Amino acid sequence: MSSHITTHVLDAATGSPAVGVGVVLAAVSGETVVAEAPGAVIAHGSTDSDGRLALGPEQLAAGDYTLTFLTGEYFAERSVPTFYPFVTVTFSVEIAADGTSAHLHVPLLLSPFAYSTYRGS
């Protein structure tokens, strides 16, 4: 069984995979985000030696989700100051008429004072 969500974190400051970054996958709703209450955690883990991680079940239900990257811990372990203690990426899962949904890949390009992300393949 494969995971529905994968990620790859690259440390842009060093040009290498970001090893050991904690990542949390959670379900959220508009009310949860507004109220700043934690979402329902579905899965969590840490990036491997190539900066990669697969999370979650084979398929997620339609809805909104977050991936929260624990970037402050990652940089603290390397004695590198950072502006971002964590990075949260919010995205939507859609279900097709046939009941399936696409695999989602959410890469993160990370540095101590900037980050970017996109929907990968």
Residue 94, domain CATH: 2.60.40.180
Range of the domain at 63: 5-114
pLDDT of 79 strictly over 90: yes
pLDDT tens digits, one per residue of 49-67: 999 999 988 888 888 999 9
Q: What is the pTM of this model?
A: 0.88
46 in any annotated domain: yes
119 in any annotated domain: no
Domain count, the chain: 1
16 in any annotated domain: yes
The total number of residues written for the chain in this structure: 121
121 in any annotated domain: no
55 in any annotated domain: yes
Nearest to 56 by CA among 18, 115, 103, 17: 103
120 in any annotated domain: no
- Cα separation of 82 and 76, whole Å? 8
Secondary structure letter of residue 2 according to DSSP:
-
